[in-house]
Amino acid sequence: MRSMVRHLYLVFVLFFAVSTTLFAEEPDVLLQRVTKQMIDSLRQNDKDLQQHPEKIYDIIEKILVPHIDWIAMSRWVVGRNAWQSASDDQKKRFVKEFKDLLIRTYASTLRAYNNQTIDYLPIRGGTQGKPRVLVSSLIKEPGREPIRVTYRLVNNNNAWQVYDIAIEGVSLLKGFQSQFATEIQQNGLEKLIQHLREHNEKPLQ
């Protein structure tokens, strides 16, 4: 899991950006386009972010948040039984805290970006008529072995959104699910939400 978190910033840095198209782009085309947008944003705001690192939250809110299916991810990491047993208020609060957790993880490692590049591979079997697809990619950095990353996307209202990421075959959601399962079993979902909130309220390092 530590290895996954260590590489997580590469995935986010090289992917997410705002999409305003009326019709869904092909997922690989979307990824290629937003990669450039994200890298440009990092470079343009580099000096400002060094002086005011907290401004990264505004950038993330604009670029990252619209392209994640936060509800699907939250439902998956909590587990079917706990999610079905949760109240609407608990679900809403968990989604918020889990989103904040991922944003903080991203923000705290964003400055480690060092001109890595990403190559997207052709989608097997195309996307026509499919509600869900996989997009494989390779993150490359000089002097290091490429990192294989697979994005799982779902078509929500004619817009592709990510609901899981696998780094070298290891699912991001499964990693969080295994961490949360023990807490939920021992103390319940409400206690997990409380612990996430307390963690998210700490100053960004």
For residue range 77-130, list pLDDT tens digits in order: 999 999 999 999 999 999 999 999 988 887 766 656 667 788 889 888 888 889
CA distance linking residue 129 with residue 150, whole number of Å: 20
Higher pLDDT, 110 or 25: 25
- How does residue 186 score in pLDDT terms, banded at 50, 70 and 90? very high
Query: With 60 as the cut, is the pLDDT of residue 21 above it?
Result: no
CATH number of the 2-200 domain: 3.10.450.710
Looking at residue 26, its pLDDT comes to 85
Looking at residue 5, its pLDDT comes to 54
This prediction has a pTM of 0.80
CA distance linking residue 36 with residue 98, whole number of Å: 27
CA distance linking residue 205 with residue 197, whole number of Å: 16
- Percent of the chain surpassing pLDDT 90: 41
Q: Dihedral of the CA atoms 198, 79, 64, 11 (nearest 10)?
A: 100
Q: Would you put residue 130 in left (φ > 0), alpha (ψ -120 to 50) or beta? A: beta
Ranges 24-28, 105-109, 152-156: which has the least confidence: 105-109
Detail the DSSP E strand segments found in the chain: 117-120, 132-140, 147-156, 159-167, 170-171
Collapsing DSSP to helix, strand or coil, 65 comes out as helix
Q: Tokens 């869900």 identify what position?
A: 132
